[in-house]
Chain A
Amino acid sequence: MTRASSGVEKTIWDRLFTVLVAAIYIFLMFPIVLVVLLSFNSGEFLAFPLEGFSLRWFEALFSNKRFLDATLYSIRIAAVSTVVNAVIGTLAAIYVARHATVARDYIRLIMTAPLLVPEILTAIALLFYFYEIRIGTDYSIGIQIGHIVVTFPYVFLNVSSALFNFDRSQEEAARSLGAGGWMTFRRVTLPAIKPGIITGCLFAFVISFDIFNISLLLKSLGSNTLPLELFDYLRFNFDPTAAAIASLSIFMTFAAILIIDRTVGLRSLRF
């Protein structure tokens, strides 16, 4: 390449770079925008040209009992995963940040391990394991535990990062003023790490709502999560109802992103 020393050349390279980067941003967003556009399109097909605004595909979605059941089931699984991880993930993060000594690195590794291995392998592992320990996959307990395991690191990492940024001397000040352990936690530590907990929980909820492989292999008879239902639907149908389901999931994700952005800022996310 030429040396970008003169002013004219510099602008050309700068412009080329800007065009390239803009194209990649469009590549990133285009598929998502496309799905949302087509879900509000009144035409029968998932193609252009757009024929006009319509909510008919959302009506079709909400009058379909399978999709409604799947949505509620997904919300239930994600809510339980979030609540369980909010408690045990926060406790574990506090332990690692404040109390762990020698085994700290190993504990941290175990806590983040579900993120480091492919989800499909974890799903296979749990499928075999639940069979061996006679829990099986007849009930929702298997899929629920799978979701808790896979979303655990999100809460742990976000709370850990909040603890890391939080000045410990505040806790010591509370202690020296006579506050007990529980009082210090409730009045000093908890308010300080609350943004980290909220971010981790939102993240865990969204991920649990979206994950597929765990649900595919561990689902119990007769109940599908929303991604599974969409996957099954797309095997035999290819119409804008699928786009409406997809849009619904996209809106939920953006709501979560907006909340995180407004409360703690996106850049504090850890994963």
Chain B
Amino acid sequence: MSAVEAAPRIESRSNRGSATWMVVPALVLLIGFFALPYLTIITMSLREASTRAVYGEGFTLAHYTSALRDFYIWGILGRTLLIGATVTVISLLLGYPVAYHLAKSRSRWTSLLYIFVLSPLLVGLVVRTFAWMIILSNNGVANQALQAVGLIDFPLQLMNNSLGVTIALTHVFLPFIILPLLGNLQAISPDLAMASRSLGASRMRTFWKVTLPLSMPGIQAGTILVFVLSISAYVTPAMLGGTGGRTMSVLVVQYLVDNFRWPAGAALAIIMAAVAVIFVGLYLRLTARAMRRLP
């Protein structure tokens, strides 16, 4: 609560008397049950393992060193990052046209289309992943359709591997890239594109030289969001991944819930978070260069 007390109490004319009490319940909630808990992941990861209690007496770095020496964990980390990167790229390729279309659309169907984008976001993850199980399973809708048109004779393995997880995660997180892009594209003045066109540039050239560079902030925000969400996703890889599509989150939950190895699981969670932070940091530096020329 020090943040509140540190804030100087400049009383506005419309409100005599302190208003600090208004923010206290929210700060108690978010400091007491959000900020402090995050610290316990760090302390937990440094505890010694124990077979009789949740953790032992002393502190150790052993969980980090043994995790970083384990090729199995490196493999899962690599797969998680690969899935995250693939989902991010495909989401951008699919999400950009939709955002562009919605931003330009003047039709009376626009709000219906907006619901199409928004509703997958509000339907639960378990429900959406279950839908993809119906589609991707061995005798699922996708294999049924492919066999019916004669493209394949035997069902393809579409789930219990990285492929299924990638497809479903793309669907699950696509709205998260469309919405920031939409906000960004709507904020770009149509006059700029019009000026470019009137100066003789084709529509393609106008898009590449004017609209796309100006939408870089939306691309940046959306891709980071999708990347972080997909490498930390649990439900979809747990339901669709099987052993062939197991990701870091699934491994961490297995450590915590099935094996009851809290300190080792905490170390894995921190490794996962650290890798995410490093990748997002690198990405920010790279994209910052591309955005430097923007107004």
Which residues of A are at the interface with B, using a C-beta cutoff of 8 A? 1, 3-5, 10, 13, 17, 20-21, 24-25, 27-29, 31-32, 34-35, 38, 46-48, 87-89, 91-92, 94-96, 98-103, 106-107, 110-111, 113-114, 117-122, 124-129, 131-132, 145-146, 148-149, 152, 156, 171-172, 175, 181, 184, 206-207, 209-213, 216-217, 227, 230-231, 234, 238, 242-243, 246, 249-250, 253-254, 256-257, 261, 266-267, 269
> Could you tell me if A95 and B133 are in contact, using CB atoms closer than 8 angstroms?
no
> Could you tell me if A107 and B3 are in contact, using CB atoms closer than 8 angstroms?
yes
Knowing A103-B7, A149-B33, A210-B122, the reply to whether A120 touches B252 (Cβ < 8 A) is yes
Q: In the complex, what's the smallest C-beta–C-beta distance from A10 to chain B, in angstroms? A: 8
**What residues of A have a CB within 8 angstroms of the CB of B54 in the complex?**
131
> Could you tell me if A171 and B14 are in contact, using CB atoms closer than 8 angstroms?
yes
Q: In the complex, what's the smallest C-beta–C-beta distance from A167 to chain B, in angstroms? A: 13
How far, in whole Å, are A3 and B25 apart by their CA atoms in the complex? Answer: 60
Contact partner, A103, options B3, B38, B97, B140, Cβ 8 Å: B3
> Could you tell me if A129 and B37 are in contact, using CB atoms closer than 8 angstroms?
yes
**What residues of A have a CB within 8 angstroms of the CB of B31 in the complex?**
110
**What residues of A have a CB within 8 angstroms of the CB of B205 in the complex?**
3
**What residues of A have a CB within 8 angstroms of the CB of B256 in the complex?**
124, 127, 217
> Could you tell me if A92 and B26 are in contact, using CB atoms closer than 8 angstroms?
yes
| Other 20 A-B pairs with CB < 8 A, given A34-B135, A217-B257 | A10-B203, A17-B101, A31-B132, A34-B131, A47-B139, A92-B27, A98-B19, A107-B23, A110-B30, A110-B35, A113-B30, A121-B269, A125-B38, A146-B33, A149-B29, A171-B14, A210-B123, A211-B124, A238-B133, A266-B114
Tell yes or no: B174 within 8 A of A by CB. Answer: yes
> Could you tell me if B135 and A31 are in contact, using CB atoms closer than 8 angstroms?
yes
Please classify how large the interface on chain B is, using the bins under 10, 10 to 19, 20 to 34, 35 or more: 35 or more
19 A-B Cβ contacts within 8 A? A17-B97, A24-B97, A31-B131, A32-B119, A35-B134, A47-B141, A95-B22, A110-B30, A118-B228, A122-B37, A125-B41, A146-B33, A210-B122, A230-B126, A231-B126, A253-B119, A257-B122, A261-B111, A261-B115
**What residues of A have a CB within 8 angstroms of the CB of B36 in the complex?**
129
Nearest residue (CB) in B for A207 is: B122
> Could you tell me if B120 and A102 are in contact, using CB atoms closer than 8 angstroms?
no
> Could you tell me if A124 and B126 are in contact, using CB atoms closer than 8 angstroms?
no
> Could you tell me if A101 and B7 are in contact, using CB atoms closer than 8 angstroms?
yes
Nearest residue (CB) in A for B272 is: A121
Tell yes or no: B282 within 8 A of A by CB. Answer: no
How far, in whole Å, are A249 and B131 apart by their CA atoms in the complex? Answer: 13
Knowing A234-B130, A269-B118, the reply to whether A92 touches B23 (Cβ < 8 A) is yes
> Could you tell me if A126 and B131 are in contact, using CB atoms closer than 8 angstroms?
no
**What residues of A have a CB within 8 angstroms of the CB of B115 in the complex?**
257, 261, 266
> Could you tell me if B135 and A28 are in contact, using CB atoms closer than 8 angstroms?
no
How far, in whole Å, are A256 and B122 apart by their CA atoms in the complex? Answer: 9
Which residues of B are at the interface with A, using a C-beta cutoff of 8 A? 3-4, 6-8, 10, 12, 14-15, 17, 19-20, 22-23, 25-27, 29-31, 33-38, 40-41, 44, 54, 94, 97-98, 101, 111, 113-120, 122-128, 130-135, 137, 139-141, 144, 171, 174-175, 202-205, 228-229, 232-235, 239, 249, 252-253, 256-257, 262, 265-266, 269, 273
Q: In the complex, what's the smallest C-beta–C-beta distance from A178 to chain B, in angstroms? A: 13
> Could you tell me if B202 and A91 are in contact, using CB atoms closer than 8 angstroms?
no
Q: In the complex, what's the smallest C-beta–C-beta distance from B39 to chain A, in angstroms? A: 8
**What residues of A have a CB within 8 angstroms of the CB of B229 in the complex?**
118
> Could you tell me if B22 and A92 are in contact, using CB atoms closer than 8 angstroms?
yes
**What residues of A have a CB within 8 angstroms of the CB of B132 in the complex?**
31
> Could you tell me if A149 and B269 are in contact, using CB atoms closer than 8 angstroms?
no
**What residues of B have a CB within 8 angstroms of the CB of A238 in the complex?**
133, 137
Of all A-B residue pairs in the complex, the 8 with the closest CB atoms, nearest first, are A118-B232, A31-B131, A210-B124, A129-B37, A92-B26, A125-B37, A95-B22, A95-B23
> Could you tell me if B122 and A253 are in contact, using CB atoms closer than 8 angstroms?
yes
Knowing A103-B3, A149-B30, A217-B256, the reply to whether A28 touches B202 (Cβ < 8 A) is no
> Could you tell me if A125 and B234 are in contact, using CB atoms closer than 8 angstroms?
no
> Could you tell me if A212 and B44 are in contact, using CB atoms closer than 8 angstroms?
no
